Chains A and B, each alone.
Chain A
Amino acid sequence: MEKVFINSIGSISAQKTFDNNDFLEEITTYEDNVISAIEPNYKDFIPPAAARRMAKGIKMGVVAAKIAIEEANLTNVDAIITGTGMGCVRDSEKFVTAILDNQEQFLTPTSFIQSTHNTVAGQIALGIGCKGYNFTYVHSSVSFESALLDALMQLQTKEAENILIGGVDESGEHTNAIHKLIHHIKPEKINSNKLLQSNTEGAVFGEGANFFVLSNNKQNSSYAQILGVKTFNTLPQSELATNLEEFLKNNNLSVDDIDVLISGNNGDLNFDNYYLELSKGLFKNTQQVYYKHLSGEFNTASSFGFWVGAKILKSQHIPSEITLNTIKSKGFGTVLLYNQYRGKNHSFTLLRQC
């Protein structure tokens, strides 16, 4: 099987991450329960006329993809595979609102077209003229990992050489309002540094786009090697450790080989216990990192975690704002990511320094 590398990255998040030379040097702290992406000047990347028509999710996705493709020193890729939990949800909201408010009259197609989940992958293909494989996974918190698994399979078997993958979700007003009502969003505005001490239910919702070029050719720009990814629709807390050890064993690794655990904690009183199971159990002597206080929670927030992992391995540096404990590894060789949302759709991802 061919080795697979992360050759480039492109990120738009609630932090200023669109400049690849920077690794969270300047942190934006929030006091809120819904946070927005810090957007680049889109005009630097897309013609203004095109940008005006695009939904925020499309703009974030297209630009993050563009940054990644450029850093990989490519103009095209063999395949585009995206993950999105909700697609361009603002356009879904706009179209539903228009149907209801105008009794199915006077509708225009733009928001319907943009609401389809594959619109970002389609727009990226259109932008770079990529006629290759084009897939979109839409399965809650494993949307990005499904895209990753698909790409990994194709690169390991040499069906493709360069694949663009990405996770993208935008935040929508109505969606946020109703998720507050069912307590998936925290009732209180909270300082991002205190997210894990909230002791309340729900998460701080966010948005963003994180794209990567994966390849079976290592090059100067490469960030890390991807060893494996595994997803589970359900996983009782009592079986988390066993399944994780088995995953590591299948990759010829053990807990001691992991230098950094990147955890998807979102401060939800009801579900962070999964993360505690690992941080206080198997990995209590391992350096730990978290990131959702910086990105917010969204279906593809784990793609931001993946970005953090890639950055750590390339820079061999961990910014103090993302450390979860005081343990310091001597070097960062192997990184494990664990994520789940509301106790479902769990994923393990393994990265190695290259």
Chain B
Amino acid sequence: MRIDSRERFDAAVSEALAGREGHKTEILVCCGTGCLANGSQKVAEAFAQEVEKRGLEAGVGLFTKKTGCHGFCEKGPLVVLQPSGVLYTKVEPRHVPDILDKTVAKGELIPRLLYKDPTTKKPVERYAEVPFYKNQTRIAMRNIGKIDPADLGDALAHGAYAGLAKALFGMTPEQVIAEVESSGLRGRGGAGFVTARKWKAARKAQGERKFLLCNGDEGDPGAFKDRSIMEGDPHSVLEGMVIGAYAVSAHEGYIYVRDEYPLAVVHLTLAMEQARQAGLLGRDILGTGFDFDICVSRGGGAFVCGESSALMRSLEGKTGEPRQKYVHATERGLFDCPTVLNNVETWADVGAIIQNGGAWFAAMGTERSKGTKAFSLVGKVKNTGLIELPMGTTLRHIIYDIGGGILGDRPFKAVQTGGPSGGCLPESHLDDPVDYEKLTEAGSMMGSGGMIVMDDRTCMVDVARYFLRFLVEESCGKCVPCREGLKQMLAIYDDLVAGRGRPGDIERIERLSAGMQLGSLCELGKSAPNPVLSTLRYFREEYLAHIEQKACPAGICRDLTAYEIVESCEGCGVCLKACPAEAIAGEKKALHVIHQGKCISCGACYEVCPTDAIRFFPKAELAPAAAASRGGAS
């Protein structure tokens, strides 16, 4: 069972492959967190029961497996049949007998379960033809959705640990570092530090103990790529870490996972147990005499613990707060020992780089950003989910070709990249290639790969305020500029959205931002003004409208927006039912009216009106009497 030589490793892979030869049809049920929430566990159980009941497993080589996240969470639960590659979306347990009877037994498709292209409205039969998948290049996520994360054999059959075997059986640590260097791999956590440079420094550093850490504290709103990797292919992370440990000669490692990712912890722990038993982790790895073991450490839920020095303090059992040392972690990190910290995605890339060579990886991407990058594409796009693309892909391609365009074909307004430390980019930047430098130049950043698409019904002042509200709670509060600065910045924004903006607010925002950028202790505070400054840079006129006209051009800020129903109303009553404040009155087939005194400006009527008969306008334009009655009502 234990793999202790090249021959045994090859034998284990052959054995895993042979075990799959009997699988004439594999039914892959996505059991990532998104699909689980949509009920995929029941779908998987229904398949297992139904297959057992029919005695199919032995007879026709039918095999059901629960995989990690396929990425297309919006259409879940997803079921993929292999080798035909048929993709079924939104599958429920009641569909299971039909899928077995028709598709598996006779090869007939079930049209209502197929994905329909939102543009052509035509059903797409195969997984690989869905535009969402067709345009992707998956390296870090190479096996997610293909393998059962709880089955090491399945991972081996899909090439897991081949990079590790290559490194340990045929390369020196220096050669491993050189290979990673030639790949141009840079940190996928967002800052983009050159991975090989970190490894070199840690290899050179003196110290009896060295640590290798994996940052799985993904905390940006809207980002979930690390979660999917840890859940769906934990072996890719382990493989990368063992290779890294061999390269820098470390024997102890930690994976720091945020506590909100329980499934990731379960799958990582299980994968580690299996890897240890197989001789891929722990003592005497692959019989080469190299020891390296990993502990999973669960974070307490603080966003700031994704910052490297805070993460290390948290691991040490201290309060998770950043500390400034002016010394690289590769020299003095965890417990003051040389430490290499890389993001989940970075580690997941390493195995593939060693297996295929640095040049292969470096052939993708732009001049200074090589390889691929995972993004969590969310917001107002038709296809939301997890994607991986070569660096340098344009934002337009991501949003329109993979994302399928804006929901309801509304106009695009902005895309937010990089989470709370990133910024909002307008339409004029849609053709920018996505890489570290370009995003930073444009006032945003790569960050952890969150990508939130916004349509015209988004107020950019409100968006900046959203991130400030997130950060004011997530700042650790150690240093003055971040703690007090965020509090004061939020107070300015609270005034802006409530119509209390004053001339000079923009200058106050800019001055405070500069103070926070220069004065804060860690990157959280230094980058906290990014959402503020990028919206100010590209949407200054919206700020001016809030301050000077007390108007929210997008009609989002409630205190500044009023609604009314215009002539084209057909009296269908849909808005009347949608209104939570019972502020709309009107007979069927007659013009409806909004009672301004009762209206809470939530916009629910605007969203549901089928005839576009509701318009919003600045509340300042309301007749004074109506405005006064509103004031009384609220």
Asked if A and B are interacting partners, one says no
B residues with CB within 8 A of A: none
A residues with CB within 8 A of B: none
